[in-house]
Structure 1
């Protein structure tokens, strides 16, 4: 069933933007849940489609321009059919959250947001700080170098190694600048909501999807997770008090505990065998596909820049600063990304191995002092700390979620496709549509 569209009576347009390697179908169940709450006479749904599949390799900027054009065309089509859009909401999933932020900035610069009431801006498992792993350790450096070069322009931007429009700064840093059109556009929305997996998200880990500099869930057995009372199903955490410290009391070693540990270890054997056999094969296929897709993406970007891809680029290259193989490939990427460890800020005398200058080390030292005493600050890049401070000025309504029935939580969080073990995702979607989404 197609849940997109709406009647001419609907004055509220909600745009749904999928993620990397995705397509509009990935957003079907979000659309289905919203439609169950709001009729076609109340809410018009647009599932953005111009960035489908390998087109997501082309970068956040190009993707944002496509989505912006799609929104403007949809509004005009609705008006030509006798309707009138007076309210706008945007929902992004994974990379789609970043593409949505870029599109919002363009809509702001073009004056579109002045003609509508900006209501909801929401993201599900979106890597707002990028996907680079923390600085320390050779394995992290290796993945940051490899990963950034296997996803074409999107990879460079997600790993923050790009130089956006010769600013000397990565795109994600510019997008979080308080004086950028992107932040000024986001500020116009009444409500900012995000959902973030606390475990097993192999594509976008907690710190980046929840815009935080600590990860209290890395050793989840050491804390007491506080679930949202309204949830009642043990999936959503209480946004105000998501966890509390758990006293460290050594558990007595019993036969049952040993047996339980052994069972858990044995259950992991098939996974370990699968990884050891299939991942090397998958890595080769992933790298070959990455080269192929990067070449194709580069050609598309050149056509786009030349105005030969159906969009007049000049209309979207506005001043940025106001004052100045898809599923298989995804699985391999997740396996590689998941093999990296989150490292923490060390004492100042250990920071030299990261290659940072004195100013960067000073920034990290300050972050260490400002962090939660019981939670070590992650070894993020200085620009990521700046992103956190700026983005959190939006006062997000943050909902950490604990999906336990499926390890592929990145897909389960939006019930990306019908699967019994994704059922916990329906709890999240119902909460968003019923409790968070303002009509």
Structure 2
């Protein structure tokens, strides 16, 4: 395996660079998580061509503070860097942003602020890219008491970020979840997002226990819940990893599905999974306890940081980032515990007819659910999403996205592998994704 990349060696740029690319990490993350994204870009573009800025001010436990605060911090960081480059004799004329996991949502918020402040008026907005980002939140599609217990409990383990990711918050005076406001077609956030020439997303189709496919792909369907039932069509030149976005799958004939695994093959597959099952059975209960205890501590600390941020004691002039919204270490164990908790719930689909769950919504939302039920088919069933999530899908899709399904096969932790978060040989599939992003998708 090659020598690990040092973040400082592949970021920054010279005074000649006119294109700034900002990299935003995810929940519990830090800038080094994006170092291989930076390396992939640097391998393609020199310091004289591209200035790479890894966002620094929202690292670690600060990501508990919510998408709003994270977006304000990233916006301020971009403004500071633009000023700094100009003071050193440079001039940035183009902007790109790439967000990983929660960083994709933080980036969307920051873009709205940049738009409202008029900063994007002086820049050519090139690429907006997300890797495994929960655009629709992290709420598991569930019905009945499972929904109440699981999604409400999960929302309360991550401070403000948790409430926003599970869409149980009320953002400012809108009386709506922040994610719904982020996708409002009349918001500063969508207006800013639409300024980019290219919007691209990479979405894991399997083994992402943090951000499942439907939310990172902005879709109400998940054809990858049982890979035994489909044939995967790969993108030419990226076989085995990136699917053809226009024709990603073909259903297998039923006879082929029924005979796909012999008894021996099924047994062999089960035996290979024993080490993982033992790990889950022994280590995860410990991790869950650590996760919940850490969540309680970090929620209190986060509340104190939010209070300081709102009062201006954190060093940011908050009034500059509050504008009208509508215009037209332990971390690995903690993260693993959260992922296993999240993946323990199987996705459910909309009922064929009205259900008692609908009573929680108003007449307009019930009408939307009825419409989605009519569009659901046995071959492509609709997930049990909320009315807000269905609206998000429609509004975000209207902006236009290039969507690339990714099949990480060499490691179970596809959420980390998609950006090669750690230097492991088993994360090799992630390098295929990053090379596609830097070499094929990234507009200069």
Q: Tell me if TM exceeds 0.5.
A: yes
Q: Are residue 223 (structure 1) and residue 230 (structure 2) matched?
A: yes
CA distance in 2, matches of 1:171, 1:5: 32
CA distance in 2, matches of 1:130, 1:9: 39
Partner of 2:168: helix, strand, or coil? coil
Aligned to 1:108: 115
CA distance in 2, matches of 1:220, 1:365: 29
Aligned to 1:247: 253
Aligned to 1:25: 32
Aligned to 2:375: 370
User: For each residue in 1:17-62, what CA deviation from the matched residue of structure 2 results, as whole angstroms up to 9, or x when unmatched?
Assistant: 0000000000000000000000000000000010110000000000
Q: Classify 1:351/1:199 alpha carbon distance in 2 versus 1 (closer, same or farther; 3 Å).
A: farther
Partner of 2:438: helix, strand, or coil? helix
Aligned to 1:4: 11
Aligned to 1:92: 99
Contact 2:353 2:373 (C-alpha < 8 Å) held by counterparts: no
Contact 2:30 2:59 (C-alpha < 8 Å) held by counterparts: yes
Task: Give 1:284 shift.
Answer: 1.4
Contact 2:144 2:357 (C-alpha < 8 Å) held by counterparts: no
With normalisation by structure 2, the TM-score equals 0.95
Q: Are residue 50 (structure 1) and residue 25 (structure 2) matched?
A: no
Aligned to 1:146: 153
User: For each residue in 1:112-157, what CA deviation from the matched residue of structure 2 results, as whole angstroms up to 9, or x when unmatched?
Assistant: 0000000000000000000011131433432211110010000000
Contact 2:220 2:393 (C-alpha < 8 Å) held by counterparts: yes
CA distance in 2, matches of 1:412, 1:252: 31
Task: Give 1:277 shift.
Answer: 2.1
- Count residues in correspondence: 436
In structure 2, runs of 5+ residues without a counterpart are 1-5
With normalisation by structure 1, the TM-score equals 0.96
In structure 1, runs of 5+ residues without a counterpart are none
Task: Give 1:193 shift.
Answer: 0.3
Aligned to 2:430: 425
Task: Give 1:66 shift.
Answer: 0.2
Cα RMSD for the two superposed structures: 1.6
Task: Give 1:363 shift.
Answer: 1.1
Runs of 4+ residues deviating >4 angstroms: 250-254
Task: Give 1:371 shift.
Answer: 4.5
Contact 1:135 1:381 (C-alpha < 8 Å) held by counterparts: no
How do 1:14-413 residues align onto structure 2 when only pairs under 5 Å count? 14-231=21-238, 233-249=239-255, 257-322=262-327, 325-352=330-357, 355-371=360-376, 374-413=379-418
Task: Give 1:223 shift.
Answer: 1.4
Contact 1:348 1:361 (C-alpha < 8 Å) held by counterparts: no
CA distance in 2, matches of 1:31, 1:93: 12
